[in-house]
Amino acid sequence: MTLGILYHMPFWQQADGSLWEAEGSFARYVDSLAPYFDEIVLAVPVFDRPQAEGSRVQAANVRLAPLPYFPGPRQFYPMLPRMIGRLRAWVRQVDLVHLRVPSPAAIFAFRAAEAAGKPVFLLVVGDYAALEPHLGYRGAKKLAFGWYVKFEEWALRHMIARALTFTNGASLLRKHEAHGPRVIETKTTTLSRHDINTRADVAAAGRVRALTVSRIDPRKGLRALPGAVAALAAQGIDISMDVVGPTIGQIGDEEREAIQREADALGVADRCRLLGAVPLDRLMAMYRDYDVFILPTQPGEGIPRVLLEAMANGLPVVTTDVSGIGSLVLDGRNGLLMPSATADAVAGAVRRIVTDGELRRRLIQGGYATARAHTLERQAADLMQVVTRELGVPAPAVGAA
């Protein structure tokens, strides 16, 4: 049985044949499904040249059906005639099609699979419609993105009505369950059972080291961070803040500059660092250098996988109660939830963690329990049991994980 997976995360292939992904979360997801199939064929954009660092696909039964590199829909659609031919050829190579959506190529791959009579299942991991109000686009760019969102929403409804669908978190489930008879909630993860730490507490004296892992764009609420650092420092809490993550296009570059200007204006530039992208394999070790994890995100996604990564590494989590986050983070048990991403809300939650040792240790232990319940091994086993039952397709190793 050959599984084909389509997504827009770019890969490259080294001279020795090894496959690499720049970020790493999707590579780990692919590895988790590899034991269930004879072969996995990835329809993904491929960089023109190898990148400086990334995360390697460990499974030996994964290969590429390369698509031309595209960082987003603006680059994808001019290449559509060529893309359609590539997608049709990819579908012919596989027995079962898996689409992670939303993604520019998904609806065209879905149509190719329908035409070829290949079974399909979806994993919905984001929500462009919820994201749109937070991007700050203006003029023609706003109009163009609005039309693209409308097209993607139509495409999702079309596919969900016709395919087995998983959603990342309860918020996406509620949005899409009306559009299809087989919509099932999951919680995507990057964690192996071997990734879970054991430290019982983090530093509460001396400098508090705060970490955010996020792409830098307006929907992530990162502009609240310099104000929170300034407020905490004014209250006598010695804190530093590191943000790990890439900028996404021009709007990401502008957001990074705005965050830096805010830190300069508040006099906390020496406490706030924007470190850029770090591949997942290296990032997992970095988590353990910090004392608290902050994600002041806005609506527009399912459940950010970084929350589970922070929990697995013994970091008390502070995040916003938006999208599907409330179906993973239980306030006061495995994290603290904020109603909105403001500097005051972030500062208040961090202050509670720093000053209340009992709360802090309870959040850490609750995070470990949550991480253990959401490993890649468990997610893949649950997913494949549903896929084989609902679609009637055999998978070589179902139940072995």
| Residue 141: predicted pLDDT | 81
Helix (H) / strand (E) element for 13: namely: strand 11-13
Alpha carbon distance 295, 306 (integer Å): 9
Residue ranges per structural domain of the chain: 2-189+375-391, 194-372
| Residue 399: predicted pLDDT | 45
CATH architecture of 2-189+375-391: 3-Layer(aba) Sandwich (3.40)
- Looking at the chain, the whole-number percentage of residues with pLDDT higher than 70 is 98
Query: pTM (2 decimals)?
Result: 0.86
DSSP string, 205-256: SS-EEEEEE--BSGGG-TTHHHHHHHHHHHTT--EEEEEE--B-HHHHHHHH
Contact 125, 103 (CB under 8 A): no
When pLDDT is averaged across residues 179-193 and rounded to a whole number, the result is: 91
| Residue 395: predicted pLDDT | 62
Instruction: For residue 257, give every residue at least 6 positions away whose Cβ sits within 8 Å of its Cβ, in sequence order, or none.
Output: none
When pLDDT is averaged across residues 117-144 and rounded to a whole number, the result is: 86
Whether 349 has a pLDDT exceeding 90, the answer reads yes
Q: Backbone phi, then psi, for 371, in 5-degree steps?
A: -60, -40
CB atoms within 10 A of CB 2: 14
DSSP string, 283-306: HHHHGGG-SEEEE---SSBS--HH
Whether 351 has a pLDDT exceeding 80, the answer reads yes
When pLDDT is averaged across residues 58-71 and rounded to a whole number, the result is: 96
Q: Is the fold of 2-189+375-391 the same as that of 194-372?
A: yes
DSSP string, 156-187: HHHHHTTSEEEEESHHHHHHHGGG-S-EEEE-
Alpha carbon distance 165, 386 (integer Å): 10
Q: How are strands ordered across the β-sheet holding 2-6?
A: 62-64, 39-43, 2-6, 96-101, 120-124, 164-168, 183-186
| Residue 398: predicted pLDDT | 52
Helix (H) / strand (E) element for 40: namely: strand 39-43
Alpha carbon distance 42, 341 (integer Å): 36
Q: How are strands ordered across the β-sheet holding 67-68?
A: 55-56, 19-21, 11-13, 45-46, 67-68
When pLDDT is averaged across residues 353-366 and rounded to a whole number, the result is: 96
Q: In this structure, which amino acid lies at residue 310? A: A
DSSP string, 310-325: HHHTT--EEEES-TTG
Whether 286 has a pLDDT exceeding 50, the answer reads yes
| Residue 151: predicted pLDDT | 95
What does the pLDDT look like over 155-179, one tens digit per residue?
Answer: 999 999 999 999 998 889 999 998 8
What does the pLDDT look like over 193-226, one tens digit per residue?
Answer: 889 999 999 976 789 999 999 999 888 999 999 9
Judged by DSSP in three states, 41 sits in strand
Q: Which of left, alpha, beta for 136 (phi over 0: left; psi -120 to 50: alpha)?
A: left
Whether 380 has a pLDDT exceeding 80, the answer reads yes
Whether 397 has a pLDDT exceeding 70, the answer reads no
| Residue 324: predicted pLDDT | 85
Alpha carbon distance 137, 158 (integer Å): 27
Judged by DSSP in three states, 385 sits in helix
Question: Could you say which DSSP state residue 339 is in?
Answer: S
Among 3.40.50.880, 3.40.50.2000, 3.40.50.2300, 3.40.190.80, what is the CATH number of 194-372?
A: 3.40.50.2000
When pLDDT is averaged across residues 273-282 and rounded to a whole number, the result is: 92
Encode 26-43: b = buried (16+ Cβ within 10 Å), e = exposed. Answer: bbbbbbbbbbbbebbbbb
| Residue 272: predicted pLDDT | 97
Higher pLDDT among residues 71 and 239, named by residue: 239
Average of per-residue pLDDT values in the chain: 93
